[in-house]
Chain A
Amino acid sequence: MTAPRDFKYVGTRPIRHDGVDKVTGRASYGADAAWPGMLHGFVLRSPHAHARIVSIDTGAAEAVPGVHAVITGKDLPETTATIALGEAAIDLRDIGDNVLAKTKTLYHGHAVAAVAATTIDIAREAAAAIEVVYDVLEPVTGIDRALGAGAPILHPALVTKGAAGPDAGGPTNIASRMELKRGDVDAGFAEADLVVEREFRTPMVHQGYIEPHACIARCGEDGRAVVWCTTQGPFVVRDACAAIVGLDPANVKVVPSEIGGGFGGKIVVYLEPLALALARKARRPVKIVMGRDDVFRATGPTSGSKVRVKLGAKRDGTIVAASASLWYEAGAYAGSPVGAGAMCMLAAYKVPNFFIEAYDVVVNKPKVAAYRAPGSPIAAFAVESVVDEIARELKIDPIELRLMNANAEGDRAPYGPKYGPIGLAQILEAARAHPHWRAPLGANQGRGFAVGFWFNAGMNSSATVTLNSDGSAAVVTGNPDIGGTRAAQAMMAAEELGIPVERVRSNVGDTDGSGFTDVTGGSRVCYATGMAVIRAAEDAREQLRARAATIWNVSKDAVGWENGRAIPPAGTEKASPMTVAELTAKMTQTGGPIVGRASLYAPMAGPAFGAHICDLEVDPETGRSRIVRYTAFQDVGKAVHPSYVEGQMQGGVAQGIGWALNEEYIYSADGVMENAGFLDYRMPVASDLPMIETVIVEVANPLHPYGVRGVGEVPIVPPLAAVANAMRDATGIRFTELPLSPPRVLEAIEAAAAVPVEA
């Protein structure tokens, strides 16, 4: 049990340790490094969404003066390796093929060759001289085409994994199908007084990190390699590069740069194996930086989707049955987050009878990557829209309806386990009590409410805490700091050691300099790696107690510890309490350096819920809408550095609003992405948004010594539905397809005006 504890540093807002470097331009990000003798790499990409590669002739490119290496898919061995990532596994055969196409190109922008040359201009010119002969195939541009009769097949050998559905057997674009069920759905719906069913669609959207992918690699004659890159997972890069390029992972060191955003999209590799293979061939370091257009075309997006949801409720608001079908686009290779979507969609509600089926569908679009609570926002958009409809039909306050049906500690999550302490009721009550919920609305304004859920990950983490002779400490972990985790880790070490937080240096190690650590992702760093830091600091503290025992010539058990000082047992002559600095000053005489260390597997973090209230104003003349007020409530367990917790919530809300209102991948009929730039892929800017109010609720997670749950992912889950529900409130129109862009909204408003709708 987590006993309430008085914290000295946890819960305060110190200035982050890497802050000055980042406001002065000194911090070194992926594209900021340059190595002596470095070559510049350029990647040639497929202009076709779906094509067989008949031949590639690199002769002319190799003849361009200044070109040192050219590679194609033939230069990379096919691998069958996988990398464990929590419960899941990354299939490196697919990743290898995605990095450089072997026999087919599967989306517009799929890499087919790469060149290293003395300048980027020469590399680009040489790439243009590569002759690729394609046999162009009909592209599968979306879910309906993928499942339709006579659909082109992306992978002839693909077999549907999982619970066999009606379409099993034969060539297919369905990579997997899963089911979740409980109770008797038909009986449940028969009991319902109200049944609402809707079908929803969302387009592919990108994580939109501002820093494009970038790396430098070198590889010696002895096979030893170093890769510098912007990544959320240096160990993933190490293992993936080794397998894809054909090197011994023991010989590959990955040094993570500062990272300019990732949101899940910088976990897998894109450029690193290419830079490494080119560097091996050229025997020179090779740097590759991706252009923004290629970031859009060839990395990241999360799935486009089709989701059908049916909910049944009693007149009093009790939800008695649910059924849902989810189809998520995986992009070119299996692996959409549809399973997570299915598991999250009813996480907030006690539903006695449900049946959910989830399809992972391959299409000729970029292979999807994780994006902040992968799969959950899409599912929440559907479910929370339908819950909103039920509240309207039954004339029950939307927060009240959710409270009536809310899961609580001891209830069984739809995905299996029983919930421990969760803060769902608390955030709902906080939202209901908040002045925003009762504030008057202006003309053409509407208010929407939605909740969202994410599991939060645990997984592997390691940390060391090294004490210096002046009583300061250095923390090393293997998690790139994507949003303030150095500060949080320093605070936790300071808390355990009782030294000022400014006296702790917080470092991100490379793959040789830190113990194995899973990715910066899954909202896990502050939780799992934080726990490793706490344990490592405790280990250092225990060593300090032992040193005090040596000095006082008493047994270690007799030495107390209070407020950063070792306390001598009562009656010890001439002994007075010793501070950390006093003890570390004597390290050499009392046994040598002190390094605290910890490595652990955190099985699962505390699941978390968020609830959002959104006020939106729509201009009926143009269909353009504006978010006028937004409040986000979230159970974070314990906020270590509240400013960065608020920042995560605000950032997730902004991304969710972008997803709801403007962002989408637009494809031509040939599967060519038509808006691969920030001008046409419209992410929210400062003038699009109001201040985003945050309300932090803390229901301690018993799995963490301070109660931390993790924070980063939940905030992107509710906004899609919160915005759509606000739009429904403002216009009377239920939108089931995102984004709610001005043309779509205007068209619907005009159609509604032409045909009067029933209330």
Chain B
Amino acid sequence: MSKLHIETTINREPAEFLCEPHETVLSALRNGLGLTGTKEGCATGDCGACSILLDGRLVPACLVLAPEAQGRTITTIEGLSRGDALHPLQQKFLEHAALQCGICTPGFIVAAKALLDATPEPSEEETRYWLAGNLCRCTGYDKIVRAVLDAASEMKGSAA
């Protein structure tokens, strides 16, 4: 059994890693690269804790094989803040107390970023349906949805 050598771009930097052919991107990120901000809640694509952007598209990292990352671009929660500045979503999650235990938070923030990238002004309903692939057991989603809507309006304000 020999490992595969994969070259990719992670959070705007070139990255390479070795992986088993059957290993997932989630495992490569967490175990190979030490990027443990992306969480595993189920490994079956049902909880969204492992949400990442692959070439800008929202995917559960537990359902993508690591070799498929060859030559592609990955964004994880670790890549959202720039220098000292939190991403507006991160800031709004803090202000709205949109996390309790926080295990779902990286996945929600990455998923919400994908939402706002595609739909800068989502309605509450659009937000709820977009985030329906992410499970949170602590918050009842109320404050998460508010944080995302608030981040959207703030980002729109600063873009204008």
Contact = CB atoms under 8 A, between A and B. Distances in A.
B50 to A, nearest CB: 11
A34 B30 CA distance: 10
Contact of B102 (A22, A646, A653): A22
A650 B133 CA distance: 19
Contacts of B76: 25
Nearest to A15: B94
Nearest to B124: A691
A24 B137 contact: no
A34 B31 CA distance: 8
Contacts of B125: 687
A543 interface: no
A19 B101 contact: no
Contacts of A648: 100
Contacts of A643: 96-97, 143
B81 interface: yes
Given A22-B102, A27-B102, A261 B94 contact: no
A260 B39 contact: yes
B42 interface: yes
B136 A210 contact: yes
Q: Which of A26, A263, A641, A647 has the most CB of B within 10 A?
A: A647
Contacts of B30: 31-32
Contact of A691 (B20, B46, B102, B142): B142
Nearest to A487: B97
Interface stretch (A131-139, A191-199, A586-594, A675-683): A675-683
Interface stretch (B63-71, B104-112, B152-160): B104-112
A28 interface: yes
A20 B91 CA distance: 8
A20 B94 contact: yes
A16 B81 CA distance: 18
A24 B37 contact: yes
A607 to B, nearest CB: 23
B118 interface: no
B47 A647 contact: no
A28 B34 CA distance: 11
Given A13-B97, A16-B97, A22-B102, A31 B46 contact: no
A25 B97 contact: no
A521 interface: no
Contacts of B95: 15
A211 B101 contact: yes
B59 interface: no
B18 interface: no
B47 A210 contact: yes
Q: Which of A22, A261, A289 has the most CB of B within 10 A?
A: A22
B90 interface: yes
Given A15-B94, A644-B97, A686 B78 contact: no
B114 interface: no
A25 B77 contact: yes
A124 B137 CA distance: 29
A262 B39 CA distance: 16
Interface string A247-272: 00000000000111111000000000
A651 B135 contact: no
A678 B129 contact: no
B100 to A, nearest CB: 4
A34 B138 CA distance: 27
Interface in A656-685: 677-679, 683-685
Contact of B81 (A24, A653, A655): A24
A234 B132 CA distance: 33
A259 B101 contact: yes
B127 A686 contact: yes
Interface in A14-43: 15-16, 18-20, 22-29, 31-32, 34
Contacts of A650: 139-143
A644 B140 CA distance: 12
A265 to B, nearest CB: 10
A683 B44 CA distance: 15
A258 B132 contact: no
A440 to B, nearest CB: 21
A29 B103 contact: yes
B47 A654 contact: no
Given A643-B143, A689-B140, A483 B101 contact: yes
A682 to B, nearest CB: 10
Nearest to B37: A25
Contacts of B131: 685-687
Given A647-B139, A686-B131, A23 B109 contact: yes
Nearest to A630: B140
A34 B141 CA distance: 31
B60 to A, nearest CB: 12
B76 to A, nearest CB: 7
A18 B99 CA distance: 11
A261 B103 contact: yes
B135 A683 contact: yes
A25 B106 contact: yes
Contacts of B143: 643, 646-647, 650
Contacts of A25: 35-38, 76-78, 106
Contact of B86 (A20, A29, A647): A20
A19 B96 CA distance: 11
A32 B80 contact: no
Nearest to A645: B97
A482 interface: yes
Nearest to A32: B36
A692 B46 contact: no
A452 interface: no
A26 to B, nearest CB: 7
A121 interface: yes
A677 B62 CA distance: 14
B39 A484 contact: no
Contact of A211 (B20, B41, B139): B41
B137 A686 contact: no
A93 interface: no
A480 to B, nearest CB: 10
A258 B135 CA distance: 18
A651 B20 contact: no
Given A26-B78, A643-B96, 20 more contacts: A23-B77, A25-B37, A29-B36, A31-B36, A31-B40, A32-B36, A210-B104, A211-B39, A211-B101, A260-B39, A483-B101, A483-B138, A643-B143, A646-B97, A647-B139, A648-B100, A678-B42, A685-B133, A685-B141, A686-B141
10 contacts: A19-B99, A22-B99, A23-B105, A25-B106, A210-B41, A212-B40, A643-B96, A647-B100, A647-B143, A654-B137
